[in-house]
């Protein structure tokens, strides 16, 4: 297709017919979930039998102009992920019926199964997972991190770095840092210059470490649970080649309660390293990389409303900031 819809109103029966290669007779919107990417939930009726296509689908892309200007690379890379890499996995991902990019407009769109209609529950970051569920999630991450792909579009320099730098800009910092009522967040985000320097040292360390295929944003808001409570990962807008410790820290620290994380994190990391299918580094080296990556999650305290609602930001920032204190993250990253 030569162009992709840029507004939810442009996802019509005619466009879906071309995308799904089946004549769509009617389309009913059952929901719109606004966020970093927009999810348009639809009920579709086909003119014929639909060739096995589902009646409940999710069309996901950049349908908010201001966010498209920022997130275009992510929308495109998610579509490329489902097109080029997802077929390498046997399970653990939603079925994708269509994935395409429009480099001229920056749009990237995927048509996925409607997971909610299939009984899948999206995680609420205010409700931590059990350690056994986190272990199951680490099993999926270990498979991802051991996957070999030569996809030429995968970046070796995560493009979320400029977004973090934007969160640390003086004007943005000043507008958001005073809104938190978390003692832990206030304790670690006291000095903007120190945090900016810590990120520079973190990223320099990432660049020097082994690079593998990573999710890039494996926090609890991007996790869903099947009927048995088994987790899987969604929202692949930050997929890239990077440091596996980035995924592991974002997931483990953000998904567990503070008490469970303190009790189980070292053992979970040890089990994750056993699950990796290729040779990995020494446990203590990986442990220190994990400690350093706790800083990424604390920046949820600075995230704009358009990306995450305040209660979710607060729950996540509290867990990551507490981990930074427990793990001496800033001392580890100080010059």
CATH of the domain at 274: 3.90.1200.10
Confidence of residue 1 (pLDDT cuts 50, 70, 90): very low
Q: Is residue 47 domain-shared with residue 103, that is, in the same domain?
A: yes
Q: Is residue 286 domain-shared with residue 226, that is, in the same domain?
A: yes
Confidence of residue 48 (pLDDT cuts 50, 70, 90): confident
CATH of the domain at 33: 3.30.200.20
**Is the pLDDT at 280 greater than 90, yes or no?**
no
Q: Is residue 173 domain-shared with residue 317, that is, in the same domain?
A: yes
Q: Is residue 254 domain-shared with residue 315, that is, in the same domain?
A: yes
Q: Is residue 60 domain-shared with residue 165, that is, in the same domain?
A: no
Q: Is residue 137 domain-shared with residue 243, that is, in the same domain?
A: yes
pLDDT tens digits along 30-41: 999 888 889 999
pLDDT tens digits along 283-328: 999 999 999 999 998 888 888 877 788 899 899 999 999 999 999 9
Query: Which of 113, 136, 168 represents a domain boundary (last residue)?
Result: 113
Assigned domain for 82 exists:
yes
Query: Which of 72, 91, 113 represents a domain boundary (last residue)?
Result: 113
**Is the pLDDT at 65 greater than 70, yes or no?**
yes
* DSSP codes joined into one string, 3-29: ---SSGGG--HHHHHHHHTS-EEEEEE
**Is the pLDDT at 132 greater than 90, yes or no?**
yes
Residues 1, 109: contact at Cβ < 8 Å?
Answer: no
Phi first, then psi: what are they for 237, rounded to 5°? -75, -20
**Number of domains within the chain:** 2
Amino acid 205: pLDDT: 94
Share in percent of the chain as helix, strand, coil (round to 5)? 50, 15, 35
For 214, half-sphere exposure in the C-beta direction (CA atoms, 13 angstrom radius) is: 27
Assigned domain for 156 exists:
yes
Mean pLDDT of 110-121: 89
**Is the pLDDT at 251 greater than 90, yes or no?**
yes
Pairing between strand 56-61 and 107-113?
A: antiparallel
Assigned domain for 2 exists:
no
Domain that holds residue 224: 121-333
Q: Give the C-alpha separation, 170 to 152, whole Å.
A: 36
Q: Give the C-alpha separation, 217 to 236, whole Å.
A: 8
Mean pLDDT of 245-258: 98
Start-to-end CA distance of the chain, whole Å, equals: 51
Residues 247, 206: contact at Cβ < 8 Å?
Answer: no
Question: Which residues does residue 100 pair with via DSSP β-bridges, in sequence order?
Answer: 109
Q: Is residue 171 domain-shared with residue 203, that is, in the same domain?
A: yes
Total-model pTM: 0.92
**159: DSSP letter:** T
């Amino acid at each position: 297709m030569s162009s992709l819809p840029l507004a939810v109103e442009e996802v019509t029966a005619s466009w879906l017919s071309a995308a799904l290669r089946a004549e769509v007779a009617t389309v009913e919107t059952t929901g719109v979930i606004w966020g970093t990417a927009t999810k348009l939930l639809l009920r579709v009726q086909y003119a014929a039998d639909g060739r096995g296509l589902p009646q409940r689908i999710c069309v996901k892309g950049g349908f908010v102009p201001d966010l498209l200007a920022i997130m275009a690379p992510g929308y495109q890379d998610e579509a490329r992920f489902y097109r080029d890499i997802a077929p390498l996995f046997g399970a653990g991902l939603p079925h994708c019926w269509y994935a395409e990019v429009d480099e001229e407009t920056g749009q990237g769109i995927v048509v996925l199964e409607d997971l909610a209609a299939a009984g899948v529950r999206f995680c609420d970051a205010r409700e931590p997972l059990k350690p056994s569920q986190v272990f199951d999630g680490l099993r999926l991450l270990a498979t991802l991190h051991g996957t070999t792909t030569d996809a030429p579009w995968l970046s070796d320099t995560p493009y979320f770095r400029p977004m973090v730098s934007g969160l640390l800009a003086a004007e943005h910092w000043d507008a958001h840092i005073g809104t938190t009522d978390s003692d832990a967040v206030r304790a670690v985000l006291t000095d903007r210059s120190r945090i900016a320097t810590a990120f520079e040292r973190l990223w320099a360390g990432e660049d020097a470490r082994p690079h593998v295929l990573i999710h890039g944003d494996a926090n609890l808001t991007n996790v869903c649970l099947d009927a048995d409570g088994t987790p899987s990962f969604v929202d692949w807008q930050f997929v890239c080649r990077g440091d596996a410790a980035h995924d592991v820290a974002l997931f483990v620290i953000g998904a567990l309660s503070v008490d469970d994380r303190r009790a189980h994190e070292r053992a979970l990391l040890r089990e994750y390293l056993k699950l990796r299918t290729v040779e990995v580094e020494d446990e203590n080296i990986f442990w220190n990389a994990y400690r350093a990556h706790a800083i990424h999650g604390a920046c949820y305290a600075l995230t704009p409303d358009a990306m995450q609602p305040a209660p979710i930001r607060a729950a996540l920032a509290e867990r990551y900031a507490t981990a930074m204190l427990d793990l001496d993250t800033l001392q580890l990253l100080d010059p």
